[in-house]
């Protein structure tokens, strides 16, 4: 598996959790559980992606700006999660904030999959792509285990 396949697999999990959450209402056990899973996925993914994808791409002039942009978007996503954490889950404001998070995450994933991966594919060689895939997955599992 290549790094792009590993990242896409986790992107799909994030999209699915966001979609499910957007259809929930009220402060219910189901909403709490899906939100907990989403937070774990997003936080673990950001750490692993920054360590084993963006850091490698920061070495190239071609991909340094894209990497910085991606990391900045991770920070924006973290801030939206903080806002959700501080908002009453049963309020309409919570769903409004969730939809903002959904929009930001989907924009970020589209940026990566439609633009960033193509450029990164030209910068990384096959050995890099395979090695980064393994390192990313290992880090992702280690991060998820912390939760």
Q: What is the pLDDT of residues 66-123, one digit of tens each?
A: 999 999 999 999 999 999 999 999 999 999 999 999 999 999 999 999 999 999 999 9
C-alpha–C-alpha distance, residues 59 and 63, integer Å: 8
Assign residue 71 the CATH number of its domain: 1.20.120.520
Q: Structural domain tally of the chain? A: 1
C-alpha–C-alpha distance, residues 40 and 35, integer Å: 9
* Residue 13: partners with Cβ closer than 8 Å, 6 or more residues away: 41
pLDDT of residue 1: 80
Q: In the numeric block, which tokens belong to residue 57?
A: 């791409």
Q: Residue 61: exposed, middle, or buried by beta-carbon count in 10 A (0-12, 13-18, 19+)?
A: exposed
- Between helices 29-49 and 64-85, what is the axis angle to 10°? 160
C-alpha–C-alpha distance, residues 16 and 64, integer Å: 30
How far from each other are the two terminal CA atoms of the chain, in whole angstroms?
Answer: 26
DSSP H stretches of helix in the chain? 3-22, 29-49, 55-57, 64-85, 92-111, 117-123, 126-145
pTM of the model: 0.95
pLDDT digits (tens, 9 = 90+) for 16-32: 999 999 999 999 999 99
Residue pointed to by tokens 């792509």:
129
Q: Which domain holds residue 65?
A: 3-145
């Amino acid at each position: 598996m290549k790094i792009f396949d590993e990242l896409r697999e986790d992107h799909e999990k994030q999209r699915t959790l966001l979609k499910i959450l957007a259809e929930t209402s009220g402060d219910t056990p189901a909403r709490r559980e899906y939100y907990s899973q989403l937070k774990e996925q997003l936080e673990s993914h950001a750490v692993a992606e920054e360590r084993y994808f963006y850091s490698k791409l920061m070495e190239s002039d071609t991909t340094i700006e894209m990497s910085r942009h991606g990391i900045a978007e991770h920070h924006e996503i973290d801030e939206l999660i903080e806002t959700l954490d501080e908002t009453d889950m049963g309020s309409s404001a919570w769903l409004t904030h969730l939809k903002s998070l959904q929009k930001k995450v989907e924009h970020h994933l589209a940026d990566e999959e439609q633009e960033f991966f193509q450029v990164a594919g030209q910068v990384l060689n096959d050995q890099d792509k395979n090695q980064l895939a393994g390192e990313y997955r290992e880090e992702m599992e280690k991060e998820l285990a912390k939760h």
